[in-house]
Amino acid sequence: MTEQETPTTAPTVRRVTKVGRVVSDKMDKTVVVAVDYLKPHPLYRKIIRKTHKFHAHDEENACRTGDMVRIEETRPLSRSKRWRVVAILEQNEEAER
């Protein structure tokens, strides 16, 4: 009897991603990203715009206020950071580089 070895691959993790606008870049290697979403009022069903702010890790300090970025969920990096910047989708032309 011969044993057949099956190649084991690491399970792929489907991470949550969000798209938002950078509202603050004053911290070192950290940006604050505001993500807007629409939600109906529980009783009146009017669509309400809500905003949630996420602290995201920006390793190269490349993001500036006003940039549109994609963030991805990751392991806890600090007390408030559980997201990291994956890509800058649209750069703010008026921000100082």
Q: Name the residue ranges covered by the structural domains of the chain.
A: 17-90
State how far the Cα of 72 lies from the Cα of 20, in Å rounded to an integer: 11
Among the CATH numbers 3.30.1330.60, 2.60.40.1180, 2.40.50.140, 3.30.70.2740, which is that of 17-90? 2.40.50.140
Cα–Cα nearest to 16, from 30, 35, 32: 35
Q: 21: helix, coil or strand?
A: strand
Amino acid letter, 33? V
Tell me the per-residue pLDDT of 14-53, one tens digit each, with 9 for 90 and over: 899 999 999 999 999 999 999 999 999 999 999 999 999 9
Whole-prediction pTM: 0.82
